[in-house]
Amino acid sequence: MSAGDTLLRRLLQRQPPKTLIAAQALSAPGVGLHIQLDAAGRVIDLAGPLRHALTRQALHAQPVLLRDYLMPHSCLSIEGTPADWLGHSLDLDFHGLGDQPLHLRGWVQPQAEGWLLQLLDIGDLLLERRQARNREQCQLLSSQISEQLRLCSLPRLPEVMAEQLRILTQRLQIPCIAVALLDDQEQGWQVHQHFSAADAPQLWHNGQRLGTGLDTLSGCTPQQLIRGEHPRLNDYFGNAEGFVVPYHDAQGVAAWLLCGFYSVQQRAPDLNHRDWLQLMAALAAPLLERLREQRHHLHLERLEALQTLLGTGWWELFSDRHELQLAPSLASDLGLDHGRLPVRDWLEQVHPADREELNARLLDLRNNSAPLLLCTRVLRADTAQSPTWYRLQGQAVGAGIHRRIIGFMLDISDIKNQQQSAAMAHARLDNLIASSPAVIYVQRYVEGALQPTFFSDSLLPLLGFSLAECNPAMLVERVHPDDRNQYFERTRQLLRQGSVQARYRMRDSRGDYHWLLDEARLLRDDLGLPVEAVGLWLDVTEATQAAEQVRQSEERYRILVEDSPAMICRYLPDLTLTFGNRPLAAYLECEPQALPGVNLGSWMSPEQREAFVSRLSQLSPEFAVSTAEINLQLPGREHAWWIWSDRGVFDDQGRLLEIQAVARDNTEVRRSQQQLTQSAKMATLGEMATGLAHEINQPLNVMRMAIVNVLKRLGNGDVQVDYLTEKLKRIDTQVQRAARVVDHMRVFGRRSEIEQQPFNPLQAIEGTLALLAEGMRGKGLELRVGETGFDVQVRGHVDQLEQVLINLMVNARDALLARREADRQFQPWIALDAERDAQHVRLWVEDNGGGIDPRLLERIFEPFFTTKPVGVGTGLGLSVSYGIVQNMGGRLSVTNSQYGARFCIELPVLPQV
């Protein structure tokens, strides 16, 4: 502290004098500011070096009050006259140059002609106190942040880190803040955690890579770490203000604190570079420590998992205590309760056949430091299990008192089992060669000929002679005369191409002929010259005879297929026919020879073909059968419906080669269903007749009243063109209304289209309301129509879906009217709503009629089942409706809600193209 600061502190702590000050004090050299006041507190004169720092340096023509020189909040400290201020220390803020307040402290003393106010500058003292207070708060904040990060659990570390960044931004009013750490490869910096205020743009995001540009800032001064002072910082802040703070550890800079949209000189003038480094250390030090702890835990977990997967683990021998320590995973794998046990107990776990050798090797390792490498079997705690093979390896590490005996155990049961399996397989192979019905032979290449040098033991049981009796001439003699040319060609092809497969007959010692499948391969030396031929003879007599039987069976199968009443065909994946039986040709009025080459898709509409091909694409070797009803458009004939069953034929790689199909004509059944649907539709129109008549009578009554009013005007001679025009427009509107009802009845009554078409199900809702809404409201029923403004497409018939909705609403209407007859206070309503998701659209029809008897819910969709009185209703409405929805690929269901019955029509949504 300087001598001036010491003098200032003594002056500030001095009590105001009680004696008068001579008037000459104003003109004497001094420090601070001296103000001469009159009895009323008006400024008479100013003196002292601080008068130049005031905005009002010259005296006014008329004396002004002292309060005119002060900041507004200081005026309260000088209430009254100078006599009232005597004996009090005054802290006053004057208007300084550049709108900066001038902080002064002093006291007032009487003098002969008035009062003298002596003031000293305490701005530096206040600044020092403010900085000390901010530094204490900064230290407290740093300790709190560090404590929170050190005490939290590892899973909550990101959450706690984000919370501490939020607290830091609130305390220091930083809009955007981020902590950057080295990435996993330590090749660049990336944002580990960031926080942005709600009203601030987001400069960074978690995991954002910042590159290596921050490395160039490690040697910069604090002033250069502000954006604008170093060009590299523009890459991270752009046009925004900001600065960065490094954190150093033993290896150098380990973390960076980035503050965006933040002018550090203006926002935090009281925090110096050391304070920022302290805050950064409070964030980074515990964070890096916890991250290293987390990586250590992950490393241990990975090591433990690796040991568990490999069935391995470490062990350590304590020779002074004759104890053995096993890794926890190894002890658990062996079924031991503790990892540390006496050596003798450990030897008890070893298979008796390996126990003595292992004990000797351990003694040699302990006494002579001889490396241990041994494969041994270990008995598990559960003696029912077979022993486990382990590879034990150990060595002595260090010397003297620091000498340790450590090693590892590796589960090699799989390897041992494979070795045993290989030995067993080799033994089985030897036995198989000796006892196999196939004869394995070797022929040595000698001067352009193949001489037999080896035959397996199965030669004698098969043909009745041995190797000693075999020579080329004898073999040729035993070949069937009709197959000798093929036998000679077999030898030539083997020598020419290096491999051969042939089939011929050979006579055994009893004189019987055997069909032999001969497969051989020629082996050559490094120069490409033939050395020997290795091959086998396989007796395929039974297979050849079976093939002949199969050929005969195929002929019978062909006859069966041709005479079958079902339509049978085969076709390629591109729908081209390769075969069709006579019933199929007869149905198509052509010859069977004309069917191959015809494409099935030519008989289908584009939609039908697309659905057909899509169904074929789902066939697989595991699910090779598919059945569907298809619609054909045969030339010059009506539409035909077939029940079509496919079975795919696949190759070894699972590729579809061909499809075998069986078809059954279902045209009459389909037409009967259409007639039933049409009948149900007409019955629905009949049930709606009263409501439709009301719907038509309403516009007729309006037109009649309009005509009567016009005729009265004409009879009175009062002819006004505007009046007549308005009445004629009203009549035209009602005519259009009635026409729409009649047109919709005509469209609804028509037969449905043959093929299903895409349409918006909301059209069916609009048509239903057009036919039923006014009639139901006229009967006192409230219609509650939900939000149906979405656009969606389903496949089917819009008039049939409208028929389903009409059936449901008419049934609900009848039930509600019957209940109202019994209870006049009852207020009936019907709700019609729609909703959709990614796969389905659902139409809901609900009423408040009390619901359906739960015992009848399972039978509600059965044909001819009705809850209405005898003679009322056919019992087909819901059954037909159920079939309509099912044909569209959907589902019609019913449940009882809080108010009444709730029907749901669920239809699959067509994917958008």
How many angstroms separate the CA atoms of 525 and 306, rounded? 47
Q: What tokens were used for 398?
A: 């260090």
User: What CATH topology corresponds to 676-908?
Assistant: Heat Shock Protein 90 (3.30.565)
Which DSSP helix (H) or strand (E) runs through 256? strand 252-260
Query: Do the strands 114-121 and 90-95 form a parallel or antiparallel pair, or are they unpaired?
Result: unpaired
Whole-angstrom distance, CA of residue 418 vs CA of residue 523: 30
Interhelix angle 798-822/667-687, rounded to 10 degrees, is: 40
Q: What is the pLDDT of residues 63-117, one digit of tens each?
A: 788 888 888 877 777 888 888 888 888 888 888 877 778 888 888 889 877 888 8
Picking from 546, 548, 586, the residue whose alpha carbon sits closest to that of residue 564 is 586
Tell me the per-residue pLDDT of 848-883, one tens digit each, with 9 for 90 and over: 988 888 877 777 777 655 666 544 454 456 777 887
Tell me what pLDDT residue 4 has: 36
Instruction: For the chain, give the mean pLDDT.
Output: 78
pLDDT in the model for residue 736: 64
Q: Which residues contact 787 (CB under 8 A, 6 or more apart)?
A: 833, 834
Q: Are strands 252-260 and 176-182 parallel, antiparallel or unpaired?
A: antiparallel
SS3 192: strand
Render pLDDT for 367-426 as a digit per residue (tens, 0 to 9): 888 898 888 888 876 656 678 888 888 888 888 777 888 888 888 888 888 888 888 877
Helix (H, G, I), strand (E, B) or coil at 74: helix
Residue 207's CB is within 10 A of a number of other CB atoms, namely 11
Of the candidates 27, 33, 36, 37, the residue with the CA atom closest to the CA atom of residue 11? 33
Q: What is the mean pLDDT of residues 156-180?
A: 87
What is the pLDDT averaged over residues 353-363?
Answer: 89
d(CA 283, CA 16) in angstroms, rounded, equals 49
Give the domain 436-545 fold: Beta-Lactamase (3.30.450)
Alpha carbon 521 to its chain centroid, in Å, reads: 55
Q: Enter the CATH code of domain 3-121.
A: 3.30.450
**pLDDT band of 433, cuts 50, 70, 90:** low
Q: Facing residues of 75 across strands?
A: none
426 exposure class (CB count in 10 Å sphere: 0-12, 13-18, 19+): exposed
Answer yes or no: is pLDDT of 25 > 50: no
Q: Could you tell me the pLDDT band of residue 216, with boundaries at 50, 70 and 90? A: confident
pLDDT at 670: 66
The SS3 assignment for 20 reads coil
According to the per-residue pLDDT averaged within each range, which of 382-391, 604-613, 691-700, 894-903 is highest?
Answer: 894-903
Distance of CA 119 to the CA centre of its chain: 73
Q: State the burial class of residue 178 (Cβ atoms within 10 Å of its Cβ: 0-12, 13-18, 19+).
A: buried
Q: Which of 880, 841, 846 is nearest to 760 (CA)?
A: 841
pLDDT (tens digit, 9 = 90+) per residue, 723-773? 677 767 667 666 665 655 555 555 444 444 556 788 888 888 888 887 777
* Beta strand ranges found along 75-188 (DSSP E): 90-95, 101-111, 114-121, 176-182
* 318-332, 562-576, 684-698, 726-740: the lowest-pLDDT one: 684-698
What phi, psi does 95 have (nearest 5°)?
A: -70, 115
Instruction: Give the whole-angstrom CA distance, residue 118 versus residue 139.
Output: 38
Q: What is the pLDDT of residue 482?
A: 92
Name every residue whose Cβ is closer than 8 Å to that of residue 49 and which is 6 or more positions away in sequence: 31, 32, 33
Q: Which residue has the higher pLDDT, 657 or 381?
A: 657
Alpha-carbon separation of residue 318 from 365, 366, 406 (angstroms): 12, 9, 9
Task: Select from 704, 766, 702 the least CA-distant residue to 734.
Answer: 702
Q: Are 730 and 699 in contact (CB under 8 A)?
A: no
Q: What integer pLDDT is reported at residue 904 of this predicted model?
A: 93
Which residue blocks in 198-327 are alpha helix, DSSP H? 234-237, 264-267, 273-310
Burial of 408 (0-12, 13-18, 19+ CB in 10 A): middle
Q: What is the pLDDT of residue 733?
A: 65
Q: What is the spatial distance between Cα 38 and Cα 725, in angstroms, rounded to a whole number?
A: 98
Parse the chain into domains and list their residue ranges: 3-121, 135-298, 311-418, 436-545, 564-665, 676-908
- The vertex-327 CA angle with 321 and 332, nearest 5°, equals 115
The token duo for 564 is 């079958």
Short-list 643, 628, 636, 640, CA closest to 671: 640
- Relative to beta strand 829-836, strand 782-785 is parallel
The CATH number of 135-298 is 3.30.450.40
Among candidate residues 199, 161, 190, 200, the one with its CA nearest the CA of residue 258: 190
* Separation CA 141–CA 135 (nearest Å): 10
> Shortest CA distance to 784 belongs to which of 827, 815, 830?
830
Q: What dotted CATH number matches 564-665?
A: 3.30.450.20
Residue partners of 807: CB distance under 8 A and separation at least 6: 680, 684, 877, 878, 880, 881
Q: How many residues does the chain have?
A: 913
**Chain position carrying tokens 């130049």:** 52
In whole angstroms, what is the distance from residue 66 CA to residue 496 CA?
127
Residue 693's pLDDT band, with cuts at 50, 70 and 90, is low
What distance in Å separates the CA atoms of residue 200 and residue 382, rounded to the nearest whole number?
A: 66
Chain centroid to CA 802: 39
Exposed e or buried b for every residue in 535-561, given b needs 16+ CB within 10 A? bbbbbbeeebeeeeeeeeeeeeeeeeb
Both tokens of 125, joined, read 């003292």
Helix 761-778 to helix 689-715 angle (10° resolution) is 70
The dotted CATH code for 311-418 is 3.30.450.20
d(CA 507, CA 477): 9
> Rounded CA gap, 603 and 612, in Å?
12
Mean of pLDDT values over 170-176: 84
* Identity of the residue numbered 775: G
- Region of 718 on the Ramachandran plot (φ > 0 left; ψ -120 to 50 alpha; else beta): beta
- Can you tell me the distance from the alpha carbon of 471 to that of 469, in angstroms, rounded to the nearest whole number? 7
Q: Which two tokens stand for residue 367?
A: 């006494």
Structure tokens at 65: 């009050």
Under DSSP, the state recorded for 498 is S
Check for a shared fold between 311-418 and 436-545.
yes
Angstrom distance (rounded) from CA 109 to CA 37: 10
| pLDDT band at residue 481 under the 50/70/90 scheme | very high
- Of the candidates 201, 198, 133, 193, the one whose C-alpha atom is nearest the C-alpha of residue 170 is 198
List alpha helices for 311-438, DSSP H. Answer: 328-333, 343-349, 352-368, 413-435
Task: Say what the pLDDT of residue 829 is.
Answer: 92
